[in-house]
């Protein structure tokens, strides 16, 4: 897969009498990481739903690399590399980490039941390749000690790492991440910046990230988009958005307190000091 170019033009979404998105325009260049921020109900997740095909807009269009996705179902979009994660980390709780990761290549490269049952050479080769890829991902994400653990036994943060690992196996060209740090402990949230950077480096994918952790967005993303009541009110580099009056009025507030919620993050220009949530789990991220 190569990094995809995403173009959203005039997207409007209505849920009954409620307008969730109104005339949204957004262009995401190949290989970039774009962060969507804004208050609850601003339309961030709905926009991801439109891109992934879960929600159909009343107006407007979504295209990836010039291909209009209007008639493409979610599974057809996934087949061209549009991969979506969810806030609730939808994994099978009774499966082991290894078995969970084996599901992704099975879905992308299914093998016939007869070929598998008879152990035909092609089926055996695909099985070896699949297990080799999963083993590499387990090592890359430092999941070795959790390989045989059931997903239900993992902390929220480690389940999210397993989810990211499965995304890597899906070979995305456009990756949609919906609040990957939601509900996890402070220490685990801080560890997600290098994890997401690693995912970006390995896949080379274009990433659109919805996240309430503003310091993470400012540290990780090349572009930040601020949404409010279904519209885009500000967009630009983190430095530009940080001082944009529209962004300050809509979400960031008039002081630095609004963008200091995730603990100290070292940047190329210094350290952003921030308060701690005070929540720590005994199980660190890999």
Average pLDDT over residues 162-167: 87
CA-nearest of 81, 62, 58 to 176 is 81
Domain residues of the chain, as ranges? Answer: 6-91+171-272
In percent, the amount of the chain with pLDDT more than 70 equals: 79
* β-sheet bridge partners, residue 15: 18
Residues 220-238 have pLDDT tens digits of: 999 999 999 999 999 999 9
Q: For residue 74, how many other CB atoms are within 10 A of its CB?
A: 14
3-state SS, residue 59 = strand
Q: What is the pLDDT of residue 194?
A: 87
Q: What is the pLDDT of residue 117?
A: 57
d(CA 230, CA 232) in angstroms, rounded, equals 7
Q: What is the pLDDT of residue 138?
A: 87
Average pLDDT over residues 13-18: 91
102 sits in which H/E element: helix 97-108
**Across the chain, which distance is largest between two alpha carbons, in Å?**
67
Q: What is the pLDDT of residue 17?
A: 84
Q: Is the pLDDT of residue 274 over 50?
A: no
Q: Is the pLDDT of residue 148 over 80?
A: yes
Average pLDDT over residues 241-259: 74
* β-sheet bridge partners, residue 234: 226
Residues 19-67 have pLDDT tens digits of: 999 999 999 999 999 999 999 999 999 999 999 999 999 999 999 999 9
CA-nearest of 141, 208, 133, 130 to 172 is 208
CA-nearest of 163, 161, 153 to 89 is 163
Q: Is the pLDDT of residue 268 over 80?
A: no
Superfamily of domain 6-91+171-272: P-loop containing nucleotide triphosphate hydrolases (3.40.50.300)
Q: What is the DSSP letter of 161?
A: H
pTM above 0.85, yes or no: no
Residues 90-122 have pLDDT tens digits of: 778 889 999 988 887 655 555 554 545 556 566
Is-contact 96 149, C-beta < 8 A? yes
d(CA 202, CA 119) in angstroms, rounded, equals 32
Q: What is the mean pLDDT of the chain?
A: 81
Q: Is the pLDDT of residue 266 over 80?
A: no
Number of H helices, E strands in the chain: 10, 12
Is-contact 117 67, C-beta < 8 A? no
275 pLDDT band (50/70/90 cuts)?
very low
């Amino acid at each position: 897969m190569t990094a995809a170019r995403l173009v959203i033009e005039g997207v409007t979404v209505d849920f009954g009498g409620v307008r969730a998105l109104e005339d949204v325009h957004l262009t995401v260049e190949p290989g970039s990481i774009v962060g969507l921020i804004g208050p609850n109900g601003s339309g961030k997740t709905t926009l991801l739903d439109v891109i992934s095909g879960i929600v159909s807009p009343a107006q407007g269009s979504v295209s990836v690399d010039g291909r209009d996705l209007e008639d493409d179902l979610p599974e057809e979009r996934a087949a061209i590399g549009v991969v979506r994660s969810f806030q609730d980390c939808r994994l099978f709780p009774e499966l082991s980490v290894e078995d969970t990761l084996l599901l992704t290549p099975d879905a992308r490269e299914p093998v016939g039941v007869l070929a598998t049952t008879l152990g035909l050479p092609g089926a055996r080769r695909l099985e070896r390749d699949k297990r080799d890829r999963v083993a590499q991902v387990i090592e890359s994400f430092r999941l070795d000690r959790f390989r045989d653990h059931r997903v239900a036994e993992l902390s929220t943060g480690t389940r999210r790492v397993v989810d990211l690992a499965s995304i890597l196996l899906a070979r995305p060209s456009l990756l949609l991440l919906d609040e990957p740090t939601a509900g996890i402990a402070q220490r685990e949230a801080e560890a997600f910046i290098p994890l997401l950077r690693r995912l970006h480096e390995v896949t080379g994918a274009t990433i659109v990230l919805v996240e309430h952790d503003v310091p993470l967005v400012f540290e990780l993303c090349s572009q930040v988009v601020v949404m409010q009541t279904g519209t885009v009110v500000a967009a630009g580099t983190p430095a530009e958005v940080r001082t944009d009056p529209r962004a300050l009025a809509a979400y960031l507030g008039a002081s630095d307190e609004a963008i200091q919620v995730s603990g100290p993050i070292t940047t190329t220009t210094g350290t952003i000091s921030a308060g701690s949530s005070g929540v720590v789990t005994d199980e660190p991220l890999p």
